[in-house]
Amino acid sequence: MTTKRIIQADSQFLSGPNSRGKELLFLVKVFFQFIRGFRKLHFIGPCVTVFGSARFNDVNPYYLQARTMGKLLSEMGFAVMTGGGPGIMEAANRGAYEAGGKSIGCTIKLPKEQSSNPYMTRIVDFDYFFIRKVLLTKYSYAFVVMPGGFGTLDELFETVTLIQTGILHNFPVVIMGKEYYTDILEMINKMISEKTISPDDQHLILFTDDVNEACEHIRSFINTNYIVKFKASWILGERS
């Protein structure tokens, strides 16, 4: 799967009406990509998604913090899911992988993110961003947001919006990097003062620099709200 192919796929989808045949082909491709994602991720168990920049190297303090987070989450029994790229995603996957846990990647090729990281026990590739975002959200019961750029902020606010509007219930969001995200916290307080969000909405997010505090916050929510509902069927070729 090449970067050019991915850019063309999303560009065609967003370029307005296409021929009826192309629109039908698009729907078929989306259907099968969702089915493949469902089959690969349906039985991964309680999962935590980690969002963050692809641009940090392995000596960056945020990379090291994400690696520790992945390790601790894995030791708590969670599968760790990321976008499967380098940087923060690699660090979280690496921590889980080295701890012997489940390390999941929902990957897509980007101009600034040329390769998947090597620390994943299960990978699902996608052609479309919106499918990837759905799968990163659908199977997770908590979300950790490390420092990042536009994509990370998009993932943060889309996730918080889903929780705020009741689409997702009782799923904690932890933002790591209080200094990095100072302006976000100030903006949340401004929105409260301007009454564009309610005061209770500030409790949807925990800002912290302490990975142990983050993990305990997540543990308390998961213990209360997570229920295993399904088991894999060998007849259907499924695996846990």
**Alpha helices, DSSP H only, in 17-121?**
20-41, 61-75, 88-98
Place of tokens 């940090």: 56
> How many angstroms from the chain centroid is the CA of residue 28?
25
* pLDDT higher than 80, residue 29: yes
pLDDT in tens, 182-208: 999 999 999 999 999 999 888 889 999
Angle 129-138/20-41 helices, nearest 10 degrees?
30
Task: Determine the Cα angle at 200 with ends 197 and 203, to 5°.
Answer: 110
Q: State pLDDT tens for residues 86-124.
A: 999 999 999 999 999 999 999 987 665 558 899 999 999
Supply the DSSP symbol for 54: S
* pLDDT of the residue at 46: 84
Protein fold of 3-225: Rossmann fold (3.40.50)
* Domain boundaries along the sequence of the chain: 3-225
pLDDT in tens, 165-176: 888 887 899 999
Q: What pLDDT was estimated at residue 1? A: 41
Distance CA 48, CA 211 (A): 14
> What's the number of CA atoms in the CB half-sphere (13 Å) around residue 119?
25
